Amino acid sequence: MQIVIIGSGNVAYHMAKAFVLNSIPLAQIFGRNETELKKISEELKVPFSTENLKDADVYIICVSDNSIEAVSKIITKKDCLVTHTSGSLSKEILAGEYRKSSLYPLQTFSKSKELDYSNIPFFVEADNEEDKKILFELASKISKRVMESTHEKRKYIHLTAVFACNFVNHLFSRAKEISDSQEIPFDYFLPLINETVEKIYEIEPKSAQTGPAVRNDKRILELHEQLLKDESLQIYKTMNHSIQKMYNL
Amino acid sequence: MQIVIIGSGNVAYHMAKAFVLNSIPLAQIFGRNETELKKISEELKVPFSTENLKDADVYIICVSDNSIEAVSKIITKKDCLVTHTSGSLSKEILAGEYRKSSLYPLQTFSKSKELDYSNIPFFVEADNEEDKKILFELASKISKRVMESTHEKRKYIHLTAVFACNFVNHLFSRAKEISDSQEIPFDYFLPLINETVEKIYEIEPKSAQTGPAVRNDKRILELHEQLLKDESLQIYKTMNHSIQKMYNL
C-alpha cells in the first residue's frame, strides 16, 4: 500500500515519524514548505516533493484546519482513500471524488519534543467498512488505542482537548509570566504542576479542587486581583467565577 | 523541641504526616474538628486535643487563611515561635506576643492523595536568624528544597501557583464536564494531559502553545463557541482572547 503524507508542520512531522518508526513505508511527504520538508525527509529518509504529488492508495492530509479544503483539491485521483487529521472538521470538507475519511490523533505535537506514539488515542471515521479497516490497521501499527468516532463526537473530543491541553498550557505561560516578573524560578512550580496532574489519576478533578476560590476566601481573592492586570486579571476573575459557580459559592 | 500542629484539614494532615514520616516527633495536633483530628491522630500516632493546647516551642498553624488570625489568639504563651503556612498573608497577621514566622509549602494537598514531601519547596520567613534557623532545620528534614522568601515574593509565588495548579485543575473539571456530557471517557485525555506537562520540562510554555487560538483559526473558534454555554463559554472566550493577545494575533 502506497501512503503519502501531505503537510510539513508539527502533525505531519510526527505522523510521518510514527509511521517510519513502526516500519510502515511512506511513498512521499508532500507540501509547500521546502525547508521543512527537506528536514523531515532527511531525518526520516522519506522522499519529498513540493510539486509532483505521487500516485498513492492513501493520502493523509496533516495541515491546519484552515488549509485542508484547499489542499484536498490537489488530489485529482479518484480511486484512493483521503483522510485528514482535524479534530473538528467533517470528512466532507475534503473536496475531491476520492473516498473520504478522518483519522484524528488526540495529542499535542511540537517538533522538538519526542513522543511515545503507542498511547495516543486515534479516532477513525470513514464511509464504509473497508476504509475503516484500512485506517484501523494503519493506526494500530502506531498506537494500541484506535477507536471509531463520529464527526459529532470528535468535535467534543477536540473541544475537551482544548480545555485540558491548550488552555492548560496557556495558564502555564501566564503563570510563568508572573513568576518571571518577580525573578522566581519557574522550576519551583514543577512539583506542584506534577501533583496537580497526578491527582486526577486518583481523584475526580471536581473533588481535587483547592485554592482561594473554592474556599471562598474573599480577602485573598481581592489581594490577588490587586497584583494582576490585563489578560491575567481577566483570566483570574473568569476562572474564579467559574469555580465558585461549580461549587455553588 | 516540642512541636504542635494546629488544624485538621489537608495541609495540617500532610504537614503532620511529613513530620512523623521523617521522625520528627509531634507533641500534639490541636483543632476544632474532633472527627478529623481523631483520624489523623490514629493514623500518625500523635496525641490530639480540641480543648487543651499543649505547651510547646513551635506552633505551626495549618488552617485556612480566613481563620489564621482567630486561631493565632489561642496561643497565649510568649516564649515560643509561631508560624503559619499561608501563601499570601503576612506573618504579622499572627495576633500574639510570641515570635512570628511563616513556613509556606508550595504544593496542593488532598487528604486522600499520597505525596512525596522531599520535593516540595518550603519558603521560610522569620524575624531573626535564630528563628530562621529553627524553621530551616525543621523543613530540611522533610524536603531538600528549603528557601527564604519575603512576604512580597511569597504572595507572587502563591499567585503563580493559583494559575499553575488551582486553575489548571478547574480546567480539568470543565473539560471532564464536556467529555462526560458526550459519554467520552476522560481517560482518553490522560496521555494528552501528561504530554502537556512533560513539554514544559523541555520547551518554554509560550513556545509550546498549540490549538485553534494560536493558529487564529476563526472557523474552529466559532464552531467551539456554538458547542459551549455559561461558564465554559466564558472561559473559552477569555482564554482565547488572552492567547491571541500574547501572540499579537
The closest CB to that of B173, out of A66, A228, A246, belongs to: A246
Note the ipTM here. Answer: 0.94
Those residues whose C-beta lies under 8 Å from the C-beta of residue B164, and which sit 6 or more positions away, are A171, A172, A175, A189, A192, A193, A196
- Chain B touched by A62 (CB under 8 Å): no
What amino acid occupies position A54?
Answer: K
Q: Give A20's pLDDT tier (boundaries 50, 70, 90).
A: very high
Question: Could you tell me the strand order of the sheet in which B146-148 lies?
Answer: B48-49, B28-30, B3-6, B58-61, B81-84, B99-105, B122-126, B146-148
Residues of chain B with pLDDT under 70: none
Fold that domain A154-246 belongs to in CATH? N-(1-d-carboxylethyl)-l-norvaline Dehydrogenase; domain 2 (1.10.1040)
Nine cell digits for residue A142? 502506531
pLDDT at B73: 98
Which uninterrupted H or E stretch holds B84? strand B81-84
Q: What pLDDT sits at residue A138?
A: 97
Domain spanning B3-149: CATH 3.40.50.11540: no
The alpha carbons of chain B give a radius of gyration, in whole angstroms, of: 22
Helices marked H in B113-209? 129-142, 151-161, 168-181, 190-199, 205-208
Q: Which residues of B touch A212 (CB under 8 A)?
A: 65, 88, 162, 166
A contacts of B117 (beta carbons < 8 Å): none
DSSP H helices, B22-167, are 34-44, 65-72, 129-142, 151-161
Please tell me if residue A193 touches chain B, with a CB cutoff of 8 Å.
Answer: yes
**What average pLDDT does range A84-111 have in this prediction?**
97
Q: Rounded to an integer, what distance in angstroms lies between the CA atom of residue A158 and that of residue B217?
A: 14
3-state secondary structure chain A: CCEEEECCCHHHHHHHHHHHHCCCCCCEEECCCHHHHHHHHHHHCCCEECCCCCCCCEEEECCCHHHHHHHHCCCCCCCCEEEECCCCCCHHHCCCCCEEEEEEECCCCCCCCCCCHHHCCEEEEECCHHHHHHHHHHHHHHCCCEEECCHHHHHHHHHHHHHHHHHHHHHHHHHHHHHHHCCCCHHHHHHHHHHHHHHCCCCCHHHHCCCCCCCCCHHHHHHHHHHCCHHHHHHHHHHHHHHHHHCCC
Mean pLDDT across chain A: 97
Tallying the residues shown for chain B, one arrives at 249
For range A36-58, the mean pLDDT: 98
Domain ranges of chain B: 3-149, 155-246
Name residue A124's beta-bridge partners: A103, A148
Burial of residue A135, with CB atoms counted within 10 A of its CB: 0-12 exposed, 13-18 middle, 19 or more buried: buried
Q: Which candidate from B165, B184, B246 shows the least CB-CB separation from A157?
A: B184
B201: alpha, beta or left? (left if phi > 0; alpha if psi -120 to 50): alpha
Q: What angle, rounded to 10 degrees, do the helices at B190-199 and A190-199 form?
A: 180
Q: Which amino acid is at B144?
A: K
- CB of B228 less than 8 A from some CB of A: yes
> Taking CA atoms, what residue in B is nearest to A186?
B160
- Assigned architecture for domain B155-246: Orthogonal Bundle (1.10)
Q: Which chain A residues are within 8 Å of B164, Cβ to Cβ?
A: 171-172, 175, 189, 192-193, 196
Q: pLDDT digits over A188-198, tens only?
A: 999 999 999 99
Are the beta carbons of B235 and A169 separated by less than 8 Å? no
Grid coordinates 490541636 are at which residue?
A: B30
Q: Which residues of A touch B232 (CB under 8 A)?
A: 163, 242
Helix (H, G, I), strand (E, B) or coil at B184: coil
Residue B85 near residue B60 (C-beta atoms within 8 A): yes
Inter-chain CB proximity A175 and B169 less than 8 Å: no
Q: Among A156, A172, A194, pick the best mutation site for testing chain B contact (most B Cβ within 10 A).
A: A172
End-to-end CA gap in chain B: 59
Predicted local distance difference test score (pLDDT) of residue B178: 98
Nearest residue of A to residue B231 by CA position? A242
Residues 109..138 of A with a Cβ closer than 8 Å to B: which?
Answer: 109-110, 112-113, 115, 119-121
* pLDDT single digits (tens) A130-186: 999 999 999 999 999 999 999 999 999 999 999 999 999 999 999 999 999 999 999
Mean predicted lDDT score pLDDT of chain B: 97
Return the closest-CA partner of residue B11 out of B113, B153, B118.
Answer: B113
* Interface contact B205, partner A, CB < 8 A: yes
Structure confidence at residue B104 (pLDDT) = 98
